[in-house]
Amino acid sequence: MPAIYTILFTLLPLLCSVAGHKEPKTPQEIEVQRSLQAAAYHCAPAVAEFTASRKRSWAQKVLAGRPSLPGYEELFASGTYADTINAPGDDQSLLSCSIAQETEIRNNSCVLAPEVTEGPYYHSAGHPIRQNIAELQDGLLLLLDIGVIDVETCRPLPNVLVDIWQANATGHYAGRPLPHPHLRDEKPQVGGKRAGLLTAFPRTIPEETFLRGAWPTDANGVAQFTTIFPGYYTGRATHVHTKVFPRWTALPNGTFTSDQLAHVGQFFFDDEVNLRIDHMHPYTTNPIRNTFGRTRNWRDSLNIFEDSHGPEGQYNPVFKLDLLGGVISQGLIGYITMGVNASASYDNFWKG
């Protein structure tokens, strides 16, 4: 067994015993993540090809005599990603591990996804199992194509539940429309790691579920969602939250329960795209548009955008975006691939 894999499997028990906080802080935690990343680098070509083949599949559908925007059923038909596995060449080596060149690592969509805070707006119960999470929220159409690869094997992870949640076009989360009454006049914090942040809004409408949902990965390790491009709020760069559950059980009410949380992370968007969408309705109605404005990625509070790149800065948490039509107003499709440790298990609750 190559030495790098000996290190990986030696360190896995340590990773599982790391305390529940979602980002590595102690020297031991950082070393564990660095060692796992080093092992994951051997899978960088596989991950890059995994994302690229999914993008090729989409491009072929657009160019194969269907220039108009496909319907939801067509986009997520079972054969959409058939060429992901049956690609030209040796299909046994497509997702096998090989030594990665430095340029491939830099351009890779993902190695080991770092654990970052889930934030205060996760609902520990009641996230529906569904692909279309938009409900009646207005905004720019956004399709998400999220791949999950196990860094222990360098292969896609089928039937793991990818849970996502996000703000709507005006920067609000489902069930949390207003601040606490005594904090209605609160101003964003000035300076420090929490610069720009307000106290989290309380959950006052528990029945709301818009822009929240979970879906299992298919045989190719891909989970796909229909949503809208998220809005922004004070102190935070535009983002989508995610959790990955390797073990999960569907409940009769259409939600789920799980006893293993393997990953907590956040996805981002290029600032240039964010700024263009700022000029589109309903994003122009964001209540802080003309006061505090949006927070750019590099100014994200709590260093979350920076932490999302990992301790070595090798993970890319930014969606790769393509147009759904001829112009941006027809919508976007975003691709990303997470390299996760399927053996890890974290506490499933917010720690501040």
Domain-by-domain residue ranges, the chain?
Answer: 3-340
Give start and end residues of each alpha helix (H) in 18-149.
27-40, 44-63, 72-75, 82-85, 102-107
Task: Report the candidate in 202, 207, 131 with the shortest Cα–Cα distance to residue 164.
Answer: 131
Please state whether the predicted TM-score (pTM) of the whole model is above 0.85: no
For residues 301 and 235, the answer to whether their CB atoms sit within 8 Å is yes
Region 3-340: CATH code: 2.60.130.10
Angle of the 27-40 helix axis to the 3-17 helix axis, nearest 10: 140
How far is residue 288's CA from residue 233's CA, in Å, rounded to a whole number? 7
The pLDDT tens digits of the residues spanning 138-194 come to: 999 999 999 998 888 778 899 999 999 999 999 999 989 899 999 999 998 988 888
For residues 180 and 200, the answer to whether their CB atoms sit within 8 Å is no
The pLDDT tens digits of the residues spanning 276-317 come to: 999 999 999 999 999 999 999 999 999 999 999 887 777 889
Task: Report the candidate in 36, 4, 9, 10 with the shortest Cα–Cα distance to residue 263.
Answer: 36
Burial class (CB in 10 A: 0-12, 13-18, 19+), 218: middle
In sequence order, the 6+-apart residues with CB closer than 8 A to the CB of 182 are none
For residues 95 and 51, the answer to whether their CB atoms sit within 8 Å is no
Read off the tokens for 84.
């992901």
Q: From first to last of the 352 residues of the chain, give the pLDDT tens digit.
A: 444 333 333 333 333 333 333 455 666 666 555 555 555 555 666 666 777 777 777 776 666 655 444 444 444 444 444 443 333 333 333 333 333 333 222 223 336 778 888 889 899 888 999 999 999 999 999 999 999 988 887 788 999 999 999 999 999 999 898 999 999 999 989 888 888 899 999 899 999 999 999 999 998 899 999 999 999 999 999 999 999 999 999 999 999 999 999 999 999 999 999 999 999 999 999 999 999 999 999 999 999 999 998 877 778 899 999 999 889 999 999 999 888 989 888 876 655 4
How far is residue 145's CA from residue 338's CA, in Å, rounded to a whole number? 11
Give start and end residues of each alpha helix (H) in the chain.
3-17, 27-40, 44-63, 72-75, 82-85, 102-107, 271-277, 304-307
Amino acid at 165: W
In angstroms, how far is CA 174 from the centroid of its own chain? 18
CA atoms within 13 A on the CB side of 37: 22
Amino acid at 348: N
How far is residue 302's CA from residue 193's CA, in Å, rounded to a whole number? 5
For residues 335 and 55, the answer to whether their CB atoms sit within 8 Å is yes
CA distances from 223 to 48, 170, 228, 274 (A): 17, 26, 16, 24
Residue 73 has phi, psi (to 5 degrees) of -65, -40
- Could you tell me the maximum CA-CA distance found in the chain, to the nearest angstrom? 64
How far is residue 155's CA from residue 261's CA, in Å, rounded to a whole number? 19
Amino acid at 150: D
